[in-house]
Structure 1
């Protein structure tokens, strides 16, 4: 069973491992290489600033990934989401539909947001298809926006309105 649990220090070890997975970083982008201590301090600070924003994705109580709601604009009621399956044994196994639906429910109904953004590399056809399957609409294309592995990558910006998510739920996908 897929569930989202708030990120806590209990999961920093596995999150730290995922952040160093070269294959995963090729999909989501490379972050700064920090020591475990600096990494943990950073995450404690982020968690303290925003409750109900950072989650570990569990499958039958085992951590398999990470997702978050960030860049929250309370005035305009929008935010960005990020996510990945960190354990490669669970990638491309259909777990994404469940956790993304749960994350969107939190964003729209607990944070009371109007719009959610997601960004992905223009070369990540799988994630583009995944976002579109949820009703996300392409809203922008940032040419050569990120420098990864010695070359510039395009970034595609997608958006989903709360009313579009409600329609998506009404098409047979129920609230979890």
Structure 2
């Protein structure tokens, strides 16, 4: 069932029927590289994790779905929501190369940012991106995110150290971009 609607995509809550998709995706070497995932997760561990996430009131886990054919093309989460300080963070994964560089990720983030700022009245959203993921960083900057810091050589992946870039976006900055 649709949770939030966009022009070409919609976002729906993750349910049990999506666990197999997530399991398949986390086996993909490129997804593992882009997300810095180094441990292998079983289907059972994924199901257990998402069942646990459902019980938390500080996150929303969603699938990104194409409107034209209801195909799942990615997932995202609004997490670490701190209602007292009115901030949270986001993470996103577009599952297959053929769906990347088409603006779907940017559209999905725009939908969840609008929800976070307008419906949840959050003030600040942050995210992390690895330095080698130039395409994602460009998408985030298009939405108004600014680099706020660098965790130098934080990820050791395939024998190489990579920086983890912290980016942030304030509600007023997002509104100015619109």
Q: Would the TM-score normalized by the shorter structure come out above 0.5?
A: yes
Q: CA deviation at 1:31?
A: 4.8
CA contact (8 A) 1:107 1:113 kept: yes
User: Residues 94-153 of structure 1, C-alpha deviation per residue, up to 9 Å, x if partnerless?
Assistant: 212211110111221232210000110112111111111111111101101122222221
Cα separation, partners in 2 of 1:6 and 1:31, compared to 1, 3 Å: farther
Does residue 1:35 correspond to 2:49, yes or no?
no
Q: CA deviation at 1:32?
A: 2.9
Q: Aligned to 1:93, which of 102, 117, 131?
A: 102
Q: Secondary structure at the match of 1:92?
A: coil
CA RMSD of aligned residues (A): 1.5
CA contact (8 A) 1:19 1:31 kept: no
The count of residues paired between Structure 1 and Structure 2 equals 169
Please report the TM-score for the alignment, with normalisation by the length of structure 1.
Answer: 0.89
Q: Secondary structure at the match of 1:49?
A: coil
Task: Please list every run of 5 or more consecutive structure 1 residues that lacks an aligned counterpart in the other structure.
Answer: 170-176
Q: Distance in 1 between matches of 2:71 and 2:142?
A: 26
CA contact (8 A) 2:92 2:105 kept: no
Q: Distance in 1 between matches of 2:125 and 2:147?
A: 12
Runs of 4+ in 1 over 3 A off after TM superposition: none
Q: Aligned to 1:131, which of 127, 140, 153?
A: 140
Does residue 1:111 correspond to 2:146, yes or no?
no
Task: Please list every run of 5 or more consecutive structure 2 residues that lacks an aligned counterpart in the other structure.
Answer: 1-7
Does residue 1:70 correspond to 2:79, yes or no?
yes
CA contact (8 A) 1:56 1:66 kept: yes
CA contact (8 A) 2:58 2:80 kept: no
Q: Distance in 1 between matches of 2:40 and 2:148?
A: 31
